[in-house]
Amino acid sequence: MQVRLKIESTDSATLQLDDKPAEKITEMHLEGVGFTGASNGVIESPDARRTGAKTLSLKLIPREGMLVGRILATDSKTVMLPYVLSLNRASA
């Protein structure tokens, strides 16, 4: 699955999953050297589609020239699905 993270400023960023429209990232914070935030979207996996997990929580840290970390996809009840994420910098 292709993921695009676009950070415009300290309070403006979006997350795009595959060819779906980009979603605003909210609740952005720095945790040490890490970046956290929340967004909406559907991870294309059987579990995420089956459970309706559409709320995404991100946590990324810089490592070896990339951002690495996880996305937790949750529903409104009890589902929490972890996905590993590695992002390379791309030119605009």
Residues 63 and 52: their CA atoms lie apart, in Å, by 31
Residue with tokens 């070896």: 64
pLDDT tens-digit profile of 43-74?
999 999 889 899 999 999 999 999 999 999 99
Model pLDDT, residue 89: 83
pLDDT band at 21 (very low <50, low <70, confident <90, very high): very high
The DSSP line for the chain is: --EEEEEEETTEEEEEETTSPPEE-EEEEEETTEEEEEEE---SSHHHHHHT--EEEEEEEEETTEEEEEEEEE-SSS-EEEEEEEEE----
Model pLDDT, residue 92: 58
